[in-house]
């Protein structure tokens, strides 16, 4: 009798989680949604000629940079892609190694998913050539086509940091005396909208980033399911 009781308890313990999973999958709703940053209201005219306010969201502006392989990378490289962006430099002694180690974690989690990429911009392009970035990326296990390291025109990179990704509030021209750096990771969705900021040196905040990437991926799956 005791033998059958134990078997019944085991079956029950295995069956209940499976039933809960099936229920949530088929009937549950995902109420976890991410903020979209930097809404702007603009005037628009409808078919009746009436002027109304529409809300649009900031998009990452076009860029033209060079990857660690020496190839050109642009906005189009990240079309139909969720990506994480950051700004670093290879000679950084403390903060950047922590950030790169955390990005290596992100890469490992989404290694098999082509919809997730990483884009690390150097803020020291005069030193960080494609060759230097290749060596740096190799030391963190960066995979070609998954984790991009970008160098190029300094003013363009600094303008991207300040006015594209909004990771720095400092003013500057991108000239020889200008310097910026940030520990922030920026989550960008497939529409080039900013969806989150994270402390790239904090493993717990990077855990949140990983979760929120999954939320975006799950949202895309739901949209495809409606089609």
Q: Is residue 47 in some structural domain? A: no
Q: How far apart are CA 157 and CA 163, in angstroms?
A: 10
Number of domains composing the chain: 1
Identify whether 35 is part of a domain.
Answer: no
pLDDT of residue 49: 60
Tell me, yes or no, whether 190 lies in a domain: yes
Residue 132 lies in a domain: yes
Q: Residue 219 belongs to what domain range? A: 60-226
CATH number (domain holding residue 98): 3.40.30.10
25-58: burial string, b at 16+ Cβ within 10 Å, e else: eeeeeeeeeeeebeeeeeeeeeeeeeeeeeeeeb
Whole-number pLDDT of residue 115: 97
| Residue 105 within any structural domain of the chain | yes
The token pair at 112 is 């098999």
User: Distance (Å, rounded) from C-alpha 148 to C-alpha 49?
Assistant: 46
Cα angle at 45 between 40 and 46, to 5 degrees? 115
Beta strands 184-188 and 194-199, pairing class: antiparallel
pLDDT of residue 177: 87
pTM of the model: 0.81
In a domain, 42, yes or no: no
pLDDT, one tens digit for every residue, the chain (227 residues): 554 444 444 444 444 444 434 443 444 444 578 999 999 877 555 656 666 677 899 999 999 999 999 999 999 999 999 999 999 999 999 999 999 999 999 999 999 999 999 999 999 999 999 999 999 999 999 999 999 999 999 999 999 999 999 999 888 889 988 999 899 999 999 999 999 999 999 999 999 999 999 999 998 665 554 54
**What is the structure's pLDDT at 10?**
41
What does the pLDDT read at residue 7? 46
pLDDT at site 33: 84
- Point out which residues pair with 54 in neighbouring strands: 42
Amino acid 52: pLDDT: 67
* Domain-embedded: residue 64: yes
What's residue 221's pLDDT? 60
Q: Is residue 9 part of a domain?
A: no
């Amino acid at each position: 009798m005791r033998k059958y009781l134990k078997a019944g308890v085991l079956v029950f313990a295995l069956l209940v989680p499976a039933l809960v999973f099936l229920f949530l999958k088929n009937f549950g709703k995902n109420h976890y949604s991410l903020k979209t940053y930097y809404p702007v209201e603009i005037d628009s005219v409808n078919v009746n000629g009436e002027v109304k306010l529409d809300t649009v969201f900031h998009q990452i502006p076009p860029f033209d940079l060079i990857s660690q392989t020496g190839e050109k990378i642009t906005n189009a490289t990240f079309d139909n892609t969720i990506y994480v962006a950051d700004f670093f430099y290879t000679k950084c002694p403390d903060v950047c190694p922590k950030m790169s180690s955390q990005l290596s974690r992100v890469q490992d989690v989404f290694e098999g998913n082509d919809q997730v990429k990483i884009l690390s911009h150097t803020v020291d392009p005069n030193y960080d050539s494609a060759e230097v970035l290749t060596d740096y990326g190799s030391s963190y296990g960066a995979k070609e086509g998954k984790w991009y390291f970008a160098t190029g025109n300094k003013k363009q990179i600094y303008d991207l940091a300040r006015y594209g990704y909004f990771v720095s509030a400092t003013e500057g021209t991108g000239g020889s005396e200008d310097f910026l750096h940030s520990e922030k990771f920026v989550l960008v969705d497939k529409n080039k909208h900013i969806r989150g900021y994270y402390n790239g040196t904090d493993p717990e905040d990077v855990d949140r980033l990983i979760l929120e990437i999954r939320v975006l991926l799950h949202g895309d799956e739901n949209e495809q399911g409606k089609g």
